[in-house]
Amino acid sequence: MKFSITQGLSISQSELDFVDVDITKDNPLYLDPYAIQIRNDTWSSECSDHIHSFFNELLDALRENNDTRATDLLSNLHEPNETFLGQSKGTPSGRGIGPDKATDLANALKKSRAFSTGLLSDISEAELFINNIGPDTISDLTTNVLRGLLVQYTIEQCSLYNIPTHIVTNIGPVWSATNNDWEATPLHLPKANNLPVLLVPKFSVRRSLSLNSQEFWNHHMSEFLKQEYLNNGSRLAKVFKTGKRKGQKYVTKKSVQELHPFIKDDLATFVKKHPEVLEIYKQIKGAKGPLDNQDFDENFDEAIFAQALSTRLSLIPKGDASANEYHNIMLGICTFLFYPHLIRPIKEGGLHQGRKRIDIRFTNAAQEGFFFRMLQSNQARALSVAIECKNYTSDIANPEFDQLTSRFGHQRGFFGIIACRDLKNRTRIISACRDAVNDGRGFMIVLEDSDFLQMLNFINSNQRLNIDRFLQTRFDEITH
C-alpha cells in the first residue's frame, strides 16, 4: 500500500516530490550519494556538506589510528527501515551497518588500497574500492548521515499535504555537520500502519547506484586496457585472418579480464594511475539525471495523466470558495510540469519571520533549460521560484504584483510566477510586468489556465520539450 493512500491523499506519484513508497515492503530504490553531490541546488549542497563532514571525520580517525573513534562513528549507523528503500523481500528488515559490523567495516576501509594510497575521499566511491561494501550499505550509510535533513524535508512535505507527524525516538541519532558528531534528538515523523516513515526526494534516488564497481570494471577499465594493450603491441593482440578486417590486430575483452580479474584493490590501483577514466565514467553516469515518472511506475502514461490534469483544472470554479482546491491542483500541475528542474515545493512558506507568505515556493535545481537560465541570470538569480495562485473571477491588479515582488531577495532570487484563471486585459498585465522589470523590482510572468492547458497539451502530444520554449516566450514578453 502506497504511503499517500495511507494518508488519504488522492495524488499520483508524478504530482509528488517525494518517493511514494509501498509501506508493506522494501522498494527497489537506493538513496544515491553521487546523485545528490553532483547537484547544485541548496538542499543537495547542504546534504553534500553533511556527507563530506561525516566521511572526512571517519577518514581522519582511521589515519590517526583512532580505532575507537572510527568504530563509534560507524556504530551509530543503524538500519534505516523508515525509508522502505532497498532490495530485501517482504517486511522491510534494513541492511544498515549497525554495531556488529562497525569494526569489520573500519578494518575493511583501513586495509583497502584506496585508503592506503589516499585515493578514497568520498562515500559515493566506497563501493568501487572497498570489499564487502555494496549498494545497500552505501544507501543505508547515506540515509543515516542525512537523517536530520531528511526529517526536515519530511516535515515540509507533511505540512504541504496536512499530514500529521508524531514524536519518534527509536530510529537513531542525527549527524551534526557543525559539531562533526552524532546527536540524539526526538524526531517528528508521519506514521503508516503505526510505523514511522521518512520521506525521500525522488530526485535523489536511483534504481542502482550511479557508481558501480562491476560496471566500471567491465565497461570502462577493461575497455581502456584493451585499447592500451592493442596500442602497445601486446602479446594479447591477435590478427583477423579473414573478412574485411583481415590483417588487422585486435584484443579481446575476455583476454584482458583474465589478466585483470575483478578485484577492488586492483580497481583502486588502476584509478590511481588513470583518474581520467573514472572522471569520464562519473560524467556519463551524472548525465543520466534523475528518474522520471515511468521509472517509479512502469504503467504510468504521462500523456493520459496530462489530459486528466487538464480536465480537473477546467472543472474547478473560480472564486474564494474554491481557492484551496485551485491551490492544490496548481501544486500538482507545477510539480508534474517542471520536475526535475523545480523541486522541494513548500506550500505557504513563511518569509521574513512569517510576516510575509507565498503560496508555493520551489527550489530551483535546473541544470538546463528555461529555469537554468533564470538561475544563471545576473538579474534574476532564481535560487528559488515563488508561485502565487490567484483563483480570482477578475484580473489581478497592482497589489498582486507588489505581493510577489516583495517576496524577492538575494537569498531567493528575483523571479516568480503568478498563476491565475484568465486574463481579460492581457496587454495591461504584460505592461505591469514590464514596469516591474524596468523599475528593478524583479521578473514576473503571469500564466493563466490556457497557458497551463497548453503546456499540458504539449505533454499529451509528446512534445514536452516545447514547454521550455513556451516559458521563454512568456518571459520575452515582459523583457522586450
**Which pLDDT score is estimated for 100?**
59
- Torsion angle (degrees, nearest 10) of CA 365, 370, 372, 374: -110
Where helices occur in 207-347 by DSSP H, the ranges are 213-216, 222-231, 253-259, 264-273, 275-287, 293-296, 302-314, 323-338
Residue where the block lists cell 517482504 = 90
Cβ-proximal residues to 32 (8 Å cutoff; 6+ apart), any chain: 124, 139, 142, 204, 205, 206, 209, 210
- Torsion angle (degrees, nearest 10) of CA 388, 392, 394, 397: -30
* pLDDT band, residue 459 (cuts 50/70/90): very high
| 470, 458 Cβ separation under 8 angstroms | yes
The total number of residues written for the chain in this structure: 480
**Residue 369: enclosing H or E segment and its boundaries?**
helix 369-376
* 215: nearest Cα among 223, 225, 227: 223
Task: Give the chain's mean pLDDT.
Answer: 90
* pLDDT band, residue 87 (cuts 50/70/90): low
C-alpha to C-alpha distance for 286 and 383, rounded to whole angstroms: 21
Question: pLDDT for 220-240, tens place per residue?
Answer: 999 999 999 999 888 888 888
C-alpha to C-alpha distance for 338 and 294, rounded to whole angstroms: 15
**Which pLDDT score is estimated for 409?**
85
Strands 238-239 and 350-351: unpaired
* 345: nearest Cα among 180, 197, 203: 203
**Which pLDDT score is estimated for 101?**
75
What the chain holds in terms of domains, given with CATH numbers, is 3-206 (no CATH), 213-287 (no CATH), 301-479 (3.40.91.30)
Predicted confidence (pLDDT) at residue 466 exceeds the cutoff of 90: yes
How many other C-beta atoms can be found within 10 angstroms of the C-beta atom of residue 253?
Answer: 13
**Residue 122: enclosing H or E segment and its boundaries?**
none
**Which pLDDT score is estimated for 402?**
79
**Which pLDDT score is estimated for 244?**
74
| Long-range CB contacts for residues 277-283, cutoff 8 Å, separation at least 24 | 277/220, 277/221, 277/224, 278/128, 278/216, 278/220, 280/220, 281/211, 281/216, 281/220, 282/34, 282/38, 282/210, 282/211
Question: pLDDT for 179-195, tens place per residue?
Answer: 999 999 889 999 999 99
pTM across the whole model:
0.89
Predicted confidence (pLDDT) at residue 305 exceeds the cutoff of 60: yes
Question: pLDDT for 427-448, tens place per residue?
Answer: 999 999 999 999 999 999 999 9
